[in-house]
Structure 1
Amino acid sequence: MSDAEPGLRERKRRATRLAIQQAALRIAIEEGLAAVTVDEISRRADVSPRTFFNYFPNKEGAILGDDPTLPDDDTLADFVAGGPTGDLLADLGALLVHSTRELIEERGLIEERQQVLRAAPELFSRRMESMKEFQAAIEGAIVARFAAAADGAPDVSGEPERRRRARLASLVALAALRHAWWQWSDAGSDTHLVDELERSFADLDALVSRSLV
């Protein structure tokens, strides 16, 4: 991975978050969704209910786990301003890499969550809705980048055209993210999701430039 390994405090935080998700999913698989309660999740994860709520707002959140979100720091501002490289696809890749660093990397969770979601259409719908919200956030950031680039210059395309192009770019970015998830979940234990995402965007760039044969 390109960043340094997290410190002890961060590793403990991630371990607790992982334990809560594992407990929620295993209760659902073993006993059904009706048996999933905050108290039972907390008991199995060996945390207090108060600690549970420090990580998730409700039991459904623990089952669904973490979706990527755009950063709310200088990374997003840099993207909107045209950074870090000036190439839209490359910069989208860097932005999503930053977004996915907080996600729990545990392949077992993927299989268990898919098993639970297949039996719970209402939760699957919530997961799809959260990803649509993430796509809309990416689209909005790209629109803002286009608007910033056009500042002070004649705007021949206008807002509708900027949004049309931004929507296309956001969907391409999410396709690369999904590709990275697939590659990572099928790969060996020595790979990281962030590494696969970087590779997916590198391959995408090669495809766009017609250098991949």
Structure 2
Amino acid sequence: MSIRHAVRTVVLATLLGGLPVGATTMLRTDLPQMAQTSDAVVQGVVRRVQSRWSGDNRRIVTDVEIQVTEALKGQPGGTVVVTQPGGRVGDIGQVVGGLASFSEGEEVVVFLEKRGAAAFQLSGMAQGKYQVKRTGPGAMAVPASTGDAVLIDPKTRQETTSSAKPVTLEELKASVRAAVQAQQAAPAKKGAK
């Protein structure tokens, strides 16, 4: 677990102490923020979805292998593996709310946080996945459902809804690139003062 992820978890636990037990809660994040805080953003095709027992045999995790067709941020390589808690091994299943689901052959854009040397997790849980749907000459990027997870506005600390809307694939890519460029320009501006 990265320090950034651990700090975010502690902050969430502190802020959300009064919410019902058992509900998955997460801070709502917008596209520019997600692009800037992610270690990598890639477009690709899901090649494999496989659940397995974790190394300590206490929980089930699911590995999603994505063949990268375009890296919008970072240099993750030709294939990335996204690992999420939950899944099914034999007759035993574990479900974790607020996570994105994946299927083989699905085209996606995913926002990723490094998780070890070669693995990633989604930034913002389900908020970090857009499914690419090709219709006619264009393609749409449709945000994944957060399901029954409770989203919390990071400023007001009140329950809210997702601000993510379907956009064209080109609009999504342009938004990611603009956010990354703004992030790269910010340190240069600070140094110039």
TM-score class, shorter-chain normalisation, is under 0.3
TM-score by length of structure 1 reads 0.24
Q: Which has the higher helix share?
A: 1
Q: Which has the higher strand share?
A: 2
| Structure number, greater radius of gyration | 1
